[in-house]
């Protein structure tokens, strides 16, 4: 047979002195709660109207701040109603603190992203329309919301990057300075006249339409590689991602054709095979 265990409700009612509560106390408590909701609605409107005077605060942030203010008014009204009912606020406050702690940890990511969004609005890291590069990708900034930065990648994909990630991780504004430099490494064979090769590379790159005249194109010897001497062709172009891709394409094709016209060998990996004693090694 199932046993029924009596529940001791004394702890639940110890914080509420029901003997001293009158009907008017209940009525007054209900009036206070109802008034707090009305006052919260009025407060939200006033706060929202005041925030609209500041052009730098996005509309979604204005709405969030106004709602938070309204909930604060409602919370204060509920606590005051409990006082009218004679509730011992010790356990009530403890319960509210516990609820607030749970809500904080549950919404910690949301709060972090909201705070990071405020930081982004108050800085000049980038604006809508700029092209940026982050650990999550690169693209054009479409919108900065209360939670994410929305970018459009060169492949036509819309990416939502959490604001906290944008603030905490390295970020590059690709279009802020008006021009950028790219590098195309060129490997020429050992024994090549390096001065001649550098001249040919510079002239080929400078002849391209998408390459800016100033600063001038550079062709600098970088290292002795395993199979080639590496010459870095460095040139400036318009700052957008599309301009970068097109400029690199133009320069690479131009350098390839120019080196061929001047009989300058573009080196590639080679291996030597050894066939055993008495055999001469030969290329393979």
- Can you tell me the distance from the alpha carbon of 130 to that of 176, in angstroms, rounded to the nearest whole number? 7
Other C-beta atoms closer than 10 Å to the C-beta of 16 total 16
What DSSP element (H or E) covers 127? Answer: none
Of 104 and 38, more confident: 38
Cis peptide leading into 215, omega within 30 of 0? Answer: yes
Given the candidates 3.30.70.100, 2.40.160.40, 3.40.1030.10, 3.20.20.70, the CATH classification of the domain at 180-261 is 3.30.70.100
Mean pLDDT of all residues in 59-82: 78
Q: What is the pTM of this model?
A: 0.61
Q: Indicate the average pLDDT of the chain.
A: 82
Residue 187 CB contacts under 8 Å (≥ 6 apart), including other chains:
225, 227, 228, 229, 230, 231, 266, 267, 268
pLDDT confidence of residue 283: 52
Closest-CA residue to 20 (of 113, 88, 103): 88
Q: Is domain 125-173 in CATH 3.90.1170.50, yes or no?
A: no
User: First vs last Cα of the chain: how many Å apart?
Assistant: 89
Query: Per-residue pLDDT for 226 more than 80?
Result: yes
Mean pLDDT of all residues in 53-65: 67
pLDDT confidence of residue 269: 77
Of 3 and 155, more confident: 155
- Can you tell me the distance from the alpha carbon of 191 to that of 180, in angstroms, rounded to the nearest whole number? 33
Query: Per-residue pLDDT for 114 more than 60?
Result: yes
What digits encode the pLDDT tens for the residues 122-164?
Answer: 667 888 899 999 988 999 999 887 778 899 999 999 999 988 8
């Amino acid at each position: 047979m199932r046993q029924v265990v009596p529940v001791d409700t004394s702890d639940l009612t110890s914080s509420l002195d029901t003997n001293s509560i009158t009907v008017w106390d209940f009525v007054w408590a209900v009036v206070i709660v109802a008034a707090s909701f009305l006052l919260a609605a009025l407060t939200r409107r006033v706060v929202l109207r005041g925030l609209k005077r500041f052009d730098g605060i996005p509309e979604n942030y204005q709405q969030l701040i106004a709602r938070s203010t309204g909930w604060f008014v409602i919370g204060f009204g509920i606590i005051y109603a409990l006082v009218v009912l004679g509730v011992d606020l010790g356990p009530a406050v403890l319960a509210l603190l516990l609820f607030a702690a749970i809500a904080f940890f549950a919404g910690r990511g949301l709060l972090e992203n909201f705070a990071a969004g405020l930081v982004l609005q108050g800085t000049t890291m980038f604006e809508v329309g700029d092209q940026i590069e982050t650990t999550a990708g690169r693209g054009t900034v479409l919108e900065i919301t209360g939670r994410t930065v929305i970018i459009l990648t060169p492949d036509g994909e819309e990416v939502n990057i959490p604001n906290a990630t944008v603030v905490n991780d390295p970020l590059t504004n690709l279009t802020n300075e008006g021009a950028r430099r790219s590098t195309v490494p060129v490997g020429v064979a050992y024994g090549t006249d390096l001065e001649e090769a550098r001249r040919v590379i510079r002239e080929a790159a400078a002849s391209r339409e998408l390459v800016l005249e100033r600063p001038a194109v550079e062709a600098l010897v970088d290292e002795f590689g395993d199979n080639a001497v590496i010459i870095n062709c460095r040139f400036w172009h318009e700052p957008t991602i599309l301009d970068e891709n097109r400029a690199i394409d133009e320069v690479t094709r131009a350098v390839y054709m120019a080196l061929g016209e001047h009989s300058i060998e573009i080196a590639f990996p080679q291996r030597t095979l050894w066939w055993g004693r008495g055999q001469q090694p030969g290329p393979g």
